[in-house]
Amino acid sequence: MLMTTYVVSRHPGAVQWLVQQGVALDHCLPHLHGQELRAGDRVVGTLPLQLACWVCEQGAEYWHLGMDIPAQWRGQELTPAQMDACRARLERFEIQRISVPKVW
């Protein structure tokens, strides 16, 4: 079975950085919405927790693009070099939804 890699980002610098890291980009999307994911697919980006959890529930892998961004750079478009300076990295997460009875 073929695996598909979805990169979810609105930031050109992030996409450039991923290409420089050798990530094979099958689909670049500004938002993950309505895609049919299959077991073994990869989703790369910085997703909200509930969406990253949904990715994992579909049997796909979630690879988080993490960085340590200083306050003065927040809200700006970063270049791949700036991302390197922020220790950009890909980390795989497996997220599981836990249902608990309402206690409050």
Q: What is the mean pLDDT of residues 50-59?
A: 96
Domain assignments of the chain as residue spans, ordered by start: 5-93
Write out pLDDT tens, residues 5-52: 999 999 999 999 999 999 999 999 999 987 889 999 999 999 999 999
- Asked whether residue 88 carries a pLDDT value surpassing 70, the answer given is yes
1 falls in which pLDDT band (50, 70, 90)?
low
Torsion of CA 21, 91, 68, 31, to 10 degrees: 80
Residue 81 to residues 16, 78, 88: CA-CA distances in angstroms?
10, 8, 10
Higher-pLDDT residue of 103, 16: 16
Kindly indicate the confidence band of residue 101, based on its pLDDT and cuts at 50, 70 and 90: confident
Give the pLDDT confidence score for residue 99 in this predicted structure.
Answer: 82
